Structures are given as C-alpha cells and as structure tokens.
Amino acid sequence: MKIAQIAPIVERIPPRKYGGTERVISALTEELVRRGHDVTLFASGDSITGATLSSICPRSLREAGIIGEREKNGWTLRHIGAAYSRAKEFDIIHDHCGVFSLPTAELSPTPVVQTMHGAFFDHNIHVFQSLRKTHIVTISKDQGSGLDQMNMAGTIYNGLHMEHYPFSERPGNYLLYVGRITPQKGTHIAVQLAAELKMPLILAAKLEPDQQRYFDQDVAPYLSKNIQWIGEVNEAERNKLMSEAMCFLHPGLWREPFGLTLIEAMACGCPVVALRRGSIPEIIQDGKTGFIAESIEHMAALIPQTASLHRRYCRQYSLGTFSAKKMADEYEKLYKLLTARDYIDTPLAQKPFLLTPRFSMFSSVSAKIDID
C-alpha cells in the first residue's frame, strides 16, 4: 500500500529525548516499511526514517527555537496543507496532528485515519463531533469512553520496538520518575513519597519554562542528596535507569490516555506503581507488573511490595502486549478495511462504526506469558 504518515513537527521523528507520540510514530512507520509498504513520512527535515521523508522545515520546531504558539501553529498548518496537497498519491493517510488536521482531512479524496494521541477536552470534542469524515483511533478504551457522535474506528494500543531495552534481574534500591515536571503528572507527589519512605529517588524529567514556579515551590524543596533531579535524558540513559530502578512511580492526577513510559519501564523489568486514573488499569497488570493505587497513601504502602514482583514477567508482558508488530498488525487491518472498494463506495452517512473487537488489542492483555 502507499501510505502517508503525517507527524507533528515540534519534535523530530524519532525524538532526541522527550517525545512519546514521536516514538510511536517512528515505530509504526519503520514497521510498515519493513513489511514492504511504500510509506511517506511527513515530518521535520531532521527526522531519521527508512520511509520517504517529506518536509517543509529543515529542523523540528523545538530544535529551531520556535516556541511561540502563533508561530508554531503557522508552521503546523503549512505542514498539514503540504501533506494533504498530495493526498491523491496515497491509498491511505494516517494523521497524527490532532484537531488541527480535521478541516483539511474533511476535504481529502483519500481515506484518513487519525490516532488521537492526546486527551479529548471540552474545547475540541465538538470539533471531532462536527467533522466526522476522519476515522478516529483511540489509544486506550478509557480515552474514548463516554463520547458519542464521533467517527470512532476503534482502539489500538501504542507499541514500540523494545526488544533491545536493557534488563536487570537485580535492581538497585532507588525509585524513578521520568517524563515532564507538571502538577498533572504528580511530580510533587513523587518527591513527597520518596521523602516519606526515606528512599532514594531520581527525577529524570523535562522542565519547561512555564512550570518553573511549580518546580520551585513544590518540587525543589524536597531535593537533596537522596532525591535528585538530573534533568531530561536521552533514551539510552533513561532505559538504563529504568532497568536498575526498584520501581517506577507514576502518580499522575489526570485522566491520561496512555502512559508510554509505563510500558517502557516494564520492558526493562521495572514494575510500576501508579494512581488509578484513565488508562492505567489497561496497561498495568495489578499485582503482577506493578500496583494500582487508590490514593497517595495507598501508593506509599505499595511501593515496598514491588520487591516481590517478578521482573522478567514484567518484561515479557510488555514485549508481548505492546509491541510495534502488534500495533502495526492492527493498523494494517484498519487500512485494508478503509481502502476496500465496497467500503469506499458506501455513502458517509451509511458507513458503519468500526469499533469492533478485531480492532482492539484488549484480548491480548490477559494472554498467558511463560516465564523461563
């Protein structure tokens, strides 16, 4: 098939450091190329891919120092327009740019799949409900729950190539927090838990300028020789930290659509302790690959118990459930359905919703995993 992948251009594909969405796009693109598809990746010019790269900007917006919202939005709209101007060249377009793309996708002569990598909010739900030509894929069941009047194609879990991730059967005694420093991610909870439990904690996290006040007031006072912030790290450094950590803390306070760092931590053998929010129960096998806490106090009680969990099981569960291969299998099925002649010829108002078990990976979550 001739497939267009339209990525955001804020970060390159794959990202140098932080960028979960970009890592997923890279994994999917490279897996589709490996399978023999003719893939064009619309992304920043510094992206690295086996696909044909098409770009209107030589570097990612972050690398180029473009941080103003108006300027970023202008570049993004030009990027989307350039990609869709070539719509007739492809059998299917897979868009990852969110609500910005919907008006353009509405006019596309080629079927469009859009993976919703972020959350649905009040300010964008009505846009998805009004512009319904794009086939929306959610990345967790929770993400799309309670929503109607949208053209939902189904749920496909994120996947990555994680076979090369390091693994350690005997970890150190430190806790680990990875990601961004924000109130929603619960960075302040992570440092409070470490202080309460008198356990070492490493914060390998990105700090944006707009979060400096939060960091100074709610995180920095807890920093010490035992609780260290080492800043943003690259993938190799992060994976080494995960493989050697006692457990991975995920004290998010919002309804997160999918925690990509959770599957990466488990792939390194590191169990996860997280608050029950959003997609968490779909990702963690409670009592096997980590623990799901009902409160911050519950998290504190569960953290020491992670020492009893089987780290090799964590790894095999993550590699078996959230692989790039499994993700690509699901998207291939969807691409083939949407490009089938009988489906294309059906008027839009009569097209069926595609939310069926065969486009969901939930059946594989509870699959038996053999431990050597």
pLDDT in tens, 157-193: 999 999 999 999 989 999 999 999 999 999 999 999 9
- Measured CA distances, 193 to 175, 177, 278 (Å): 10, 11, 21
Could you tell me if 179 and 203 are in contact, meaning their C-beta atoms sit under 8 angstroms apart?
Answer: no
Q: Residue 230, exposed/middle/buried by CB under 10 A (0-12, 13-18, 19+)?
A: exposed
Cα 12 → chain centroid: 15
Look at residue 125 and tell me whether its pLDDT is greater than 90: yes
Look at residue 355 and tell me whether its pLDDT is greater than 50: no
pLDDT in tens, 197-251: 999 999 999 999 999 999 999 999 999 999 999 999 998 999 999 999 999 999 9
Which has the higher per-residue pLDDT, 352 or 81?
Answer: 81
Name the band, by pLDDT with cuts 50, 70 and 90, for residue 343: low
Prior bond of 14 cis (ω within 30°):
yes
Give 139's contacts (C-beta < 8 A, 6+ positions apart): 115, 116, 117, 155, 156, 157, 158, 257, 258, 279
- The pTM (predicted TM-score) of the whole model is 0.89
The predicted model gives 361-368 an average pLDDT of 38
pLDDT for the residue 147: 86
Output the six-digit token pair for 57: 């900007």
Which has the higher per-residue pLDDT, 346 or 78?
Answer: 78
Look at residue 353 and tell me whether its pLDDT is greater than 70: no
Mean pLDDT for the chain? 91
Output the six-digit token pair for 15: 């990202």
Spell out the domain ranges in the chain.
Answer: 2-161+324-364, 175-320
pLDDT for the residue 365: 37
Task: Give the range among 30-39, 58-67, 246-255, 300-309 with minimum mean pLDDT.
Answer: 58-67
pLDDT for the residue 81: 97
Distance CA 307, CA 290 (A): 10
**Architecture of domain 175-320 in this structure:** 3-Layer(aba) Sandwich (3.40)
- Nearest CA among 130, 105, 136 for reference residue 118: 136
Topology annotation, domain 2-161+324-364: Rossmann fold (3.40.50)
Which has the higher per-residue pLDDT, 176 or 349?
Answer: 176
Name the band, by pLDDT with cuts 50, 70 and 90, for residue 370: very low
Look at residue 357 and tell me whether its pLDDT is greater than 70: no
Q: How would you write the chain as a 3-class SS string?
A: CEEEEECCCCCCCCCCCCCHHHHHHHHHHHHHHHCCCEEEEECCCCCCCCCEEECCCCCCCCCCCCCCHHHHHHHHHHHHHHHHCCHHHCCEEEECCHHHHHHHHHCCCCCEEEEECCCCCHHHHHHHHHCCCCEEEECCHHHHCCCCCCCEEEECCCCECCCCCCCCCCCCCCEEEEEECCCCCCHHHHHHHHHHHCCCEEEEEECCHHHHHHHHHHHHHHCCCCEEECCCCCHHHHHHHHHHCCEEEECCCCCCCCCHHHHHHHHCCCCEEEECCCCHHHHCCECCCEEEECCHHHHHHHHHHHHHCCHHHHHHHHHHHCEHHHHHHHHHHHHHHHCCHHHHCCCHHHCCCCCCHHHCCHHHCCCCCCCC
The predicted model gives 252-259 an average pLDDT of 94
Name the band, by pLDDT with cuts 50, 70 and 90, for residue 347: low
- Measured CA distances, 349 to 94, 99, 100, 335 (Å): 21, 21, 23, 20
Look at residue 352 and tell me whether its pLDDT is greater than 60: no
pLDDT for the residue 146: 85
The predicted model gives 273-287 an average pLDDT of 97
The predicted model gives 5-28 an average pLDDT of 93
pLDDT for the residue 148: 84
Task: Give the range among 29-43, 119-133, 334-348 with minimum mean pLDDT.
Answer: 334-348
- Identical fold at 2-161+324-364 and 175-320? yes
The predicted model gives 326-341 an average pLDDT of 94
